[in-house]
A and B are shown apart, each in its own frame.
Chain A
């Protein structure tokens, strides 16, 4: 790779690294893993930089991040059998634990594909079509996955808590 291309790559990472790190964090739910996920995605991007650089490289990196996060989470879920549907213990709420944390924990516990849909739709503000392109599925699937994810979040934290979360956000 030429020095110019390396410079372009470095400039891209400097400009978009933080934004991509945040996507990685939301996709995997762990700060340390997010850093590793981002580095892995950027290494893959760098190897294909001569092709990727011609268009906007960010969607490519984002796609690698999200798909890698899904792939890793699935393997881990397979091996650990994480109960993704278990609601937080009632004692936690009684202890007045911050509902925002409950919501983030619930987000982390979503099946990886649903979590990815939530991140891409509501954090990245991508359309259903754009999200579908990244995940390699139909827009209908994105719609149904988003709907299921939101319903699950709503169910787990409860209608009353939803109001609490929203008012916390306003506060």
Chain B
């Protein structure tokens, strides 16, 4: 054994020798999978029942594993990232939960500065936003990826309604990887947004009992992708999944490269 690679190999073996999978791992996976499947089904059932009754209750509580669904508020902390989830209303109660996003550290993270009305940030201009929203005064800037959001009161510490994440250059790889995984498990759908390729998906379904984050990715060309997200609570203000998708698509279609 004479190379760093060989040494590394041995060190990794030593380092992991003590690790053993828990004896009940398979049971935990089965229980968790069944619980999440049940929850998604109940959520879909609740949505169908709500439409049928043409009534929006203040909240629905559907049992131990179900979701408390409040109406008429905006909210949900700003989503800094997410991963794959299917639409709760779709037939296949697909996967959960690779969302482990930590809270942003405001002391360590650069932002995009004062964006005024927030309609232009980084290298992107926002042509359309749903009515009543204003820039939240919150943003993050990591160079090849940056993001900001909009809500009703412009409070940077408040909840978000719409968030847009832009990926450029090397960062586009991350989007491509995520989309590859979504496609691999047949989540979401390919869409065309003003002649540009896009991908429509509801991410994080079942996370914390939630309905997920309606999201559309759009390829803006020139090694730039944007990820447009509606917060799960804001999404409840729309009549149905089609209405959410329409608005998401309008926001995505309105995105252009800033001069």
**Inter-subunit contact A9/B30 (CB<8 Å):** yes
Q: Is B80 part of the contact surface with A, judged by Cβ < 8 Å?
A: yes
Instruction: Find out whether the CB atom of B12 lies under 8 angstroms from the CB atom of A100.
Output: no
Answer whether residue A14 sits at the interface, using C-beta atoms and an 8 A cutoff: yes
Is A75 a contact of B81 with CB atoms below 8 Å? yes
Stretch at the interface among B51-59, B101-109, B154-162, B245-253: B101-109
Q: Which of B1, B4, B108 contacts A80 (CB 8 A)?
A: B108
| Surface stretch bound by A, among B13-21, B121-129, B192-200, B228-236 | B13-21
Q: At the interface, yes or no: A109 with Cβ under 8 Å from chain B?
A: no
Q: How far is the CB of A56 from chain B (nearest CB, A)?
A: 16
Instruction: Give every chain A residue within 8 A of B177 (Cβ-Cβ).
Output: 67, 70-71, 136
* Interface locus among B65-73, B90-98, B131-139, B212-220: B90-98
Chain B residues lying within 8 Å of A34, measured Cβ to Cβ, are: 19
Q: Determine if A54 is an interface residue (Cβ-Cβ < 8 Å).
A: no
Q: Which of A103-132 contact B (CB under 8 A)?
A: 103-104, 107, 118-119, 122-123
B33 in complex: contacting residue of A47, A75, A119, CB < 8 Å = A47
**Which A residues touch B108, using CB under 8 A?**
79-81
Assess whether A166 is in contact with B7, with CB atoms less than 8 Å apart: yes
Could you tell me the dominant secondary structure of chain A's interface residues? helix
Identify which of A26, A46, A74 contacts B30 (C-beta below 8 A): A46
Give the residues from 10 to 65 in chain A that come closer than 8 angstroms, CB to CB, to chain B: 10, 13-14, 17-18, 20-22, 25-26, 31, 34-36, 38-40, 42-44, 46-48, 64
> Is the pair A6, B19 in contact by a Cβ cutoff of 8 Å?
no
Whole-angstrom distance between the Cβ of A153 and the nearest chain B Cβ: 6
Assess the A67–B20 pair: CB atoms within 8 A.
no
Q: Contact at B26–A67, with CB atoms within 8 Å?
A: no
A154 in the interface (beta carbon within 8 A) = yes
A48 touching B181 in the complex, CB below 8 Å, given contacts A13-B26, A153-B4: no
Is B22 on the interface with A (CB-CB < 8 A)?
yes
Q: When chains A and B are docked, how far (Å) is the Cα of A58 from the Cα of B219? A: 33
Interface size on B, as a range, is: 35 or more
Give complex CA distance A47, B29 in Å: 10
Residue of B nearest to A7 (CB): B26
Contacts of B105 in A (CB 8 A): 79-80
A119 to B22, CA, bound (A): 22
Q: Mark A72-113, 1 if CB is under 8 A from B, else 0.
A: 101110111100000000000000000010011001000000
Whether the pair B2, A166 counts as a contact (CB closer than 8 A) is: yes
Assembly CA distance A21 to B79 (angstroms): 28
Q: Does B174 contact A (CB under 8 A)?
A: yes
Q: A18–B9 Cα gap in the complex (Å)?
A: 17
Interface residue from A9, A20, A21, A119 paired with B12 (Cβ < 8 Å): A119
* Known A9-B26, A20-B21; contact A48-B16, beta-carbon cutoff 8 A: no
Do the beta carbons of A13 and B25 come within 8 Å of each other?
A: yes
A68–B7 touching, CB < 8 Å:
no
Task: Using A43-B33, A47-B95 as known contacts, say yes or no to A104 and B15 having CB atoms under 8 A apart.
Answer: yes
The CA-CA distance from A31 to B13 in the complex, in Å, is 15
Binding site for A on B (CB under 8 A): 1-16, 19-22, 25-30, 32-33, 36, 80-81, 83, 94-98, 100-105, 108-109, 140, 142, 145, 174, 176-178, 180-181, 185
User: Can you give 29 A-B contacts (C-beta < 8 A)?
Assistant: A6-B30, A9-B26, A9-B29, A9-B30, A13-B25, A13-B26, A17-B25, A18-B19, A18-B20, A21-B21, A39-B32, A42-B26, A42-B29, A43-B32, A43-B96, A43-B97, A48-B185, A71-B178, A75-B80, A79-B105, A79-B108, A81-B109, A104-B11, A162-B4, A166-B1, A166-B2, A169-B6, A169-B7, A169-B10
